[in-house]
Structure 1
Amino acid sequence: MKNRHRGWVAAKYATLLAAVFGILFPPYIIVVNAFKTSEEFLRKSAIELPDSFLHLANFAAAFDKADMPRAFGNTIVIIGITLVLNILIGSAFCYAVGRFQFKFRGILVSLFLFATIIPTITTQVVNYKTIQAMELTNNLMGPVLLYVGADILQIYIYLQFVRNIPYELDESAMIEGASLLRIFRSIIFPLLGPATATIVILKTISIYNDMFVPYLYLSRPEHVVVSTSLMRFFSVNSGDWQLISSAILIIMIPTAVLYLFLQKYIFAGVTSGAVK
């Protein structure tokens, strides 16, 4: 029995090590090749370390050729506007639904739940025709509108937080003469800080990594974002893997840093806002 238990433990650790290897091996290949010169890349295998990790010419070339300044600028604009609208609309909607009783309230919340089971691909034609009719193709506001209107996760995160805030706080403020807007602005919204932080992180990473929406709606070079910038850079420089690795690493760094430093807010917010 003891040998069987040891064998089971060994199998579990072997499985975990295999999973870690599968996750870390691709980033390792990207990192080691990003610092190689073209001669090194041809001379060495893909898994060998570069002669020096101080060779930064690849990063400068990739940053310039991939039009990274414009790509990061457009991405920041899209993320910034989307987050502001998501937070304002989502928190206000969940405050109204979570605090007040009105007709069709349950149906309204159920419709949001129903929207999560509809395959995204089935609505793409309608979405594109709608954005096209609004003349928002090749306009940064087109993706913003889609990102704001398609976010269901934030509704349930905010809703669970609102329901956990004691209603006595609202009553005390009403006794003091505060309006509903003042209660929301001064009491409810500050208490939604953990939920807001969670939504900001998850939404930022989601938009940053999305390629489908920018590729479909922002076809002009001046509207390039980080994901489409990398795709176009790869198509032009498909033979220069050291430059491609550098471009990938440049794009990976912001989300990796964001996740490493703020992951506790992601776990705490999603866990606290989970539907019980």
Structure 2
Amino acid sequence: MNTAARVSSYTVVAFFLAVILVPLFVLGTVSLQNSAGTINPLRLPETYFWSNYPKAIEVGNLVKYFSNSVSVLVMTLSVTLVCSIMAGYALRHGRAWKSDWFFSYFLVGMILPGFAGTIQSFLLLRELSLLNSHLGLAIIQVAGGMALPIFLYLQFFKTVPLEIEEAATIDGCSPVRIFWQVVVPLTLPVTSTCIIIIAINSWNDFFGPLVYLSSPASRTLPIGLMFFKTQYSANWPQLFAASVFVAMPITLLYMFVQRFIIKGLVGGAVKG
């Protein structure tokens, strides 16, 4: 690589790095400044007001909203993962024409926008008495977020040699045992990818809780943050501190599983 190409590459990397880091820097500096003084988002504060964080958590009732978000996330994540991995495995071993038909059906979920069936979903949850409940919201998130994990699992299973399952069958393993003890442990990379995709979509979901959760006690963090801004918009340091509190769990989760993500996304690209 010549000098001009190297400089161009470094320039592009520096630009995208700045796009990522500058908002994080502003978020952190404003959250630690004094709300009574002049706020400068591009300057480190002379005195760090760490008290903005506990005040924001208390004023915004963020602990309650955090609990609600975790409740929805756990239900959505567990059900989506189990159903997706089983569906992907079934499509891999099903009859060709049936597998292709069902796979095309699931792909429609990746094409249609999530809010296309909002009215029907609202009426259905009302008939089932699941409106304003975390279970109802989790059902909507599972139904709307299963297409991509199924696609990823199917592509991964196509790279797993059938000889592995045949060897387990010869050793006396039942189909259920082969699936849970032989196949599932192999899916760690793609499972890590699905975890972060599902978690981000569920944690940051704003439209779903806004439509299906009407009670203040059932609000999730994105909705709670919206009402925090509505009621306390003049206190920008506390609002930014609340934003850090909302973003931190998913950021930590991403840092924990990010080394598996690229491997999971390209799981079927160079094999099979």
TM-score by length of structure 1 reads: 0.88
Q: Could you tell which deviates more after superposition, 241-250 or 190-199?
A: 190-199
Match for residue 136 of structure 1? Answer: 130
What is the deviation of 1:247?
Answer: 0.6
2: distance between equivalents of 1:275 and 1:153? Answer: 19
Match for residue 156 of structure 1? Answer: 151
Counting only pairs closer than 5 Å after superposition, residues 1-276 of structure 1 correspond to structure 2 as 6=4, 13-40=10-37, 42=38, 44-53=39-48, 55-101=49-95, 104-150=98-144, 151-273=146-268
2: distance between equivalents of 1:184 and 1:87? Answer: 14
2: distance between equivalents of 1:108 and 1:157? Answer: 15
- Do the aligned residues in 2 keep the contact of 1:205 with 1:255 (CA within 8 Å)? yes
| Counterpart secondary structure, 2:266 | helix
2: distance between equivalents of 1:140 and 1:186? Answer: 32
2: distance between equivalents of 1:195 and 1:13? Answer: 31
What is the deviation of 1:61?
Answer: 0.6
Q: For residue 98 of structure 2, what is the amino acid of its counterpart? A: F
Question: Which structure 1 segments of 5+ residues have no match?
Answer: none
Q: For residue 52 of structure 1, what is the amino acid of its counterpart? A: T
What is the deviation of 1:260?
Answer: 2.5
| Counterpart secondary structure, 1:236 | helix
Deviation digits for residues 175-216 of structure 1 (CA, Å, limit 9, x no counterpart): 333221121111111111222121112211221111111111
Q: For residue 74 of structure 2, what is the amino acid of its counterpart? A: G
What is the deviation of 1:45?
Answer: 2.8
What is the deviation of 1:12?
Answer: 5.8
The alignment-based identity, stated in percent, is 27
Q: For residue 184 of structure 2, what is the amino acid of its counterpart? A: F
Deviation digits for residues 58-99 of structure 1 (CA, Å, limit 9, x no counterpart): 101101111111111111111111121112111111111112
2: distance between equivalents of 1:9 and 1:63? Answer: 46
Q: Could you tell which deviates more after superposition, 195-204 or 14-23?
A: 14-23
- Do the aligned residues in 2 keep the contact of 1:195 with 1:273 (CA within 8 Å)? no
- Do the aligned residues in 1 keep the contact of 2:92 with 2:99 (CA within 8 Å)? no
Deviation digits for residues 100-124 of structure 1 (CA, Å, limit 9, x no counterpart): 3265221111111233222333222
- Do the aligned residues in 2 keep the contact of 1:156 with 1:273 (CA within 8 Å)? no
| Counterpart secondary structure, 2:196 | helix
Question: Which structure 2 segments of 5+ residues have no match?
Answer: none
- Do the aligned residues in 2 keep the contact of 1:202 with 1:266 (CA within 8 Å)? no
- Do the aligned residues in 2 keep the contact of 1:75 with 1:226 (CA within 8 Å)? yes
The number of aligned residues is 269
RMSD across aligned C-alpha pairs, in angstroms? 2.2
1: distance between equivalents of 2:98 and 2:10? Answer: 52
